[in-house]
């Protein structure tokens, strides 16, 4: 989906000023179709949901299949796994809390996750470092193939206390993308406010914004990620880069066996503040939308034959 988004943004920026300012629905439709054509298989073996906000209106384009084997198309209510876009939620919670004076960016993470006060370099890391990927933290969970098994909370604390910065590095002086850092930020926020990250999402972000179709996935009895039964039928099937299904709709690829460390699911949508979205038609549909979001993956790529299901890492669910 990152490729699709980048292509569409580039195309819209490069469009002539007159078109960018007052493009007709048909012009936008043709632009979206043109940018998607080289990305999504022409035979429909894949699916994309696109929202375009332009000239005071919002257009929605749904293309292809949410699940090829079931011939289930992408629709307005298809739920996509947001993968690492979840990090925006923790970062927003942190920014809100700083603005309210409830904590500071300079607070050491060990102030809240007190088990880390027995560690070494981890005691130098602040909440701001975690949010900006400048802590220097880099664990096996951050890069393929990942750890041999998901980390439990005790595993995670032990690894963090033993962790050492690379020679010549210091927190705040280099940028190193880290999933583990955001799991640690989650723990710090939970400890500071005495509640779960899911409750913080709901109370401070989702409810105030009316995002009634956004949900944090949970871990099932078998340790695998899952969605509530009522939402599974809306979830988009994840696929590998080779087009083979990974798990089932709603599955999550996670490296942490820690409550709340699952992935967020949401539907594609943008709510215009001043005018209702304009609907049009294109392939599956261009749909009207309410003021909310909903769960699942941003771009599903399907296999061309009825495929076997397997476990693994999906290009649409990589990350946390």
Listed in sequence order, the residues at least 6 apart from 164 whose beta carbon sits closer than 8 Å to its beta carbon are 120, 121
CA distance 43 to 72: 14
Q: Is 141 a catalytic residue?
A: no
CA distance 247 to 308: 10
Listed in sequence order, the residues at least 6 apart from 128 whose beta carbon sits closer than 8 Å to its beta carbon are 105, 106, 134, 172
CA distance 293 to 49: 13
Please report the DSSP string for 141-189 in residue order: GGSTT--SSPBPHHHHHHHHHH--PPTT--TTSS----HHHHHHHHHHH
Q: Is 84 a catalytic residue?
A: yes
Catalytic, out of 154, 177, 182, 285:
177
Catalytic, out of 10, 84, 213, 266:
84
CB atoms near residue 164 (< 10 Å):
11
Q: Are 89 and 106 in contact (CB under 8 A)?
A: no
CA distance 298 to 62: 11
Token pair in block for residue 194: 């005495």
Q: Single out the residue of 134, 142, 143, 141 nearest to residue 109, CA to CA.
A: 134
> What positions carry a catalytic annotation?
84, 177
């Amino acid at each position: 989906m990152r490729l699709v988004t980048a292509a569409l943004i580039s195309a819209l920026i490069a469009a002539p000023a007159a078109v960018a300012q007052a493009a007709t629905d048909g012009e936008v439709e043709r632009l979206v179709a043109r940018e998607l054509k080289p990305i999504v298989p022409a035979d429909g073996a894949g699916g994309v949901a696109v929202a375009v906000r332009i000239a005071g209106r919002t257009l929605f384009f749904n293309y292809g299949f949410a699940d090829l084997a079931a011939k289930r198309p992408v629709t307005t209510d298809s739920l996509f796994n947001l993968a690492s876009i979840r990090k925006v939620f923790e970062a927003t919670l942190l920014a809100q809390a700083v603005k309210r004076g409830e904590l500071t960016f300079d607070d050491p993470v060990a102030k809240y996750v007190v088990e880390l006060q027995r560690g070494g370099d981890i005691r130098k890391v602040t909440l701001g470092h975690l949010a900006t990927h400048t802590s220097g933290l880099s664990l096996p969970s951050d890069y393929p193939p990942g750890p041999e098994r998901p980390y439990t909370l005790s595993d995670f604390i032990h690894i963090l206390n033993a962790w050492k910065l690379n020679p010549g590095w210091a927190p705040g002086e280099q940028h190193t993308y880290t999933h583990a850092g955001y799991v640690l930020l989650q723990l710090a926020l939970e400890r500071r406010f005495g509640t779960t990250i899911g409750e913080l999402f709901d109370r401070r972000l989702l409810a105030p914004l009316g995002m009634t179709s956004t949900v944090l996935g949970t871990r099932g009895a078998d340790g695998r990620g899952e969605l509530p039964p009522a939402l599974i039928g809306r979830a988009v099937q994840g696929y590998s880069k080779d087009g083979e299904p990974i798990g089932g709709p709603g599955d999550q690829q996670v490296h942490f066996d820690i409550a709340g460390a699952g992935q967020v699911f949401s539907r594609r949508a943008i709510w215009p503040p001043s005018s209702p979205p304009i609907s049009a038609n294109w392939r599956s549909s261009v749909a009207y939308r309410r003021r909310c979001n909903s769960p699942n993956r941003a771009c599903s790529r399907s296999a061309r034959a009825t495929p076997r299901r397997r476990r693994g890492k999906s290009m649409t669910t990589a990350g946390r």
